[in-house]
């Protein structure tokens, strides 16, 4: 496939992507966040999700930098989809108080150390069918990363409104989800490959992606749920590239990797409830 053809496609599509650059405040905190993430590598490697840790390190660093700039020191954080606990442990090591929820008790087996379930006071809660088991205004922030794409039954706007209930006025949602518009998806489809998982993994799996979102759809979703956008940006996370497209992306467009929104396969953002100071 001609590299110039792909570059021209990116240029024409860019105005429709509405995915900004990494904010300066986040960028300035990434190096120290990466050091913190690397410090967890030996512990994460002991668990069954060691490979997941390796492909998620850059995302984790962005979340930590976002929390440092958007959540008060020592604040109370609800980590939705807490297992395997990598992010929760990193936030705890930064001095935050972290509570975790998972869909069911099976996820307790994914932690590298069983003691983490007590550390995060882990509770089981199906956020699509039940209210969160916490009083109003319990948290300074909600971590809602790589979860939106798994929602299958309840409309996500209702889930976001439940987050508003448990957040303090002006509380933050630290968010991420795969960018379905990313160029590796486009290339994979052009090569006749499906952007969804193989059928053997898709059906019957609780970890499957039900629906992936465009940046514009994410913006509309949070706005409709009453959230205010503090910052939204795109970044490249290894785990969100699609097989069949990633090789061409790197071979033909390595010099453009950070320039175009379609080159950023993960949408990251900080949203706030109204009413803060």
pLDDT digits (tens, 9 = 90+) for 17-52: 567 789 999 999 999 999 999 999 999 988 888 989
Q: Which CATH number characterizes residue 111's domain? A: 3.40.50.150
Question: Does a structural domain hold residue 256?
Answer: no
- CB neighbour class for 7 (10 Å; exposed up to 12, middle 13-18, buried from 19): middle
Is 70 exceeded by the pLDDT of residue 255?
no
Between residues 198 and 124, which one has the greater pLDDT? Answer: 124
Per-residue pLDDT averaged across 99-126, rounded?
96
pLDDT digits (tens, 9 = 90+) for 52-84: 999 899 999 999 999 999 999 999 999 999 999
HSE at residue 16, side-chain half, CA atoms within 13 A, is 8
Question: Does a structural domain hold residue 8?
Answer: no
The total number of residues shown for the chain amounts to: 277
- For 31, the token pair is 């190096």
The answer to whether 218 and 177 have CB atoms below 8 angstroms apart is yes
Q: For residues 108 and 49, what is the distance between their CA atoms, to the nearest angstrom?
A: 12
For the chain, count helices (H), then strands (E). Answer: 11, 7
Look at strands 76-80 and 97-102 and give their pairing: parallel
Structure confidence at residue 137 (pLDDT): 97
Structure confidence at residue 258 (pLDDT): 52
Question: Does a structural domain hold residue 172?
Answer: yes
Count of domains forming the chain: 1
Residue 167's DSSP bridge partners are: 139
Q: How confident is the model at residue 8 (pLDDT cuts 50, 70, 90)?
A: low
Q: Which domain holds residue 127?
A: 23-178+204-240+265-272
Question: Does a structural domain hold residue 72?
Answer: yes
Is 70 exceeded by the pLDDT of residue 10?
no
Residue 255, C-beta contacts closer than 8 angstroms, at least 6 positions apart: none
Per-residue pLDDT averaged across 228-252, rounded?
74
Question: Does a structural domain hold residue 4?
Answer: no
Question: Does a structural domain hold residue 246?
Answer: no
Structure confidence at residue 15 (pLDDT): 47
| Closest among 205, 191, 213, 226 to 268, alpha carbons compared | 213
Look at strands 228-235 and 266-272 and give their pairing: antiparallel
pTM for this entry: 0.89
Question: Does a structural domain hold residue 186?
Answer: no
């Amino acid at each position: 496939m001609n590299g110039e053809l792909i570059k021209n496609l990116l240029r024409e599509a860019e105005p429709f992507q509405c995915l900004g650059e990494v904010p300066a405040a986040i960028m300035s905190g990434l190096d120290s966040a990466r050091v913190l993430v690397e410090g967890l590598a030996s512990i994460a490697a002991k668990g069954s999700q060691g490979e997941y840790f390796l492909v998620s390190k850059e995302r984790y660093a962005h979340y930590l930098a976002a929390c440092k700039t958007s959540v008060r020191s020592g604040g109370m954080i609800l980590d939705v989809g807490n297992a395997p606990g990598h992010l929760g442990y990193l936030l705890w090591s930064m001095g935050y108080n972290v509570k975790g929820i998972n869909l069911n008790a099976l996820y307790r087996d994914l932690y590298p150390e069983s003691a983490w379930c007590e550390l995060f006071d882990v509770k089981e809660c199906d956020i699509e069918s039940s209210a969160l088991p916490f009083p109003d205004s319990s948290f300074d922030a909600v971590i809602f990363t790589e979860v939106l794409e798994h929602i299958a039954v309840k409309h996500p706007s209702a889930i976001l409104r439940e987050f508003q209930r448990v957040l303090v006025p002006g509380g933050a949602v630290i968010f991420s989800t795969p960018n379905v518009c990313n160029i590796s998806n486009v290339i994979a489809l052009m090569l006749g490959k499906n952007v969804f998982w193989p059928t053997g993994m898709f059906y019957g799996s609780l970890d499957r992606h039900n629906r992936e979102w465009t940046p514009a759809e994410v913006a509309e979703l949070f706005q409709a749920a009453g959230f205010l956008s503090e910052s939204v940006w795109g970044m490249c996370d290894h785990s969100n590239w699609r097989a069949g497209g990633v090789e061409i992306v790197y071979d033909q467009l390595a010099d453009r990797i950070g320039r175009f929104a379609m080159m950023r396969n993960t949408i990251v953002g900080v949203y706030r409830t109204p009413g803060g100071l």
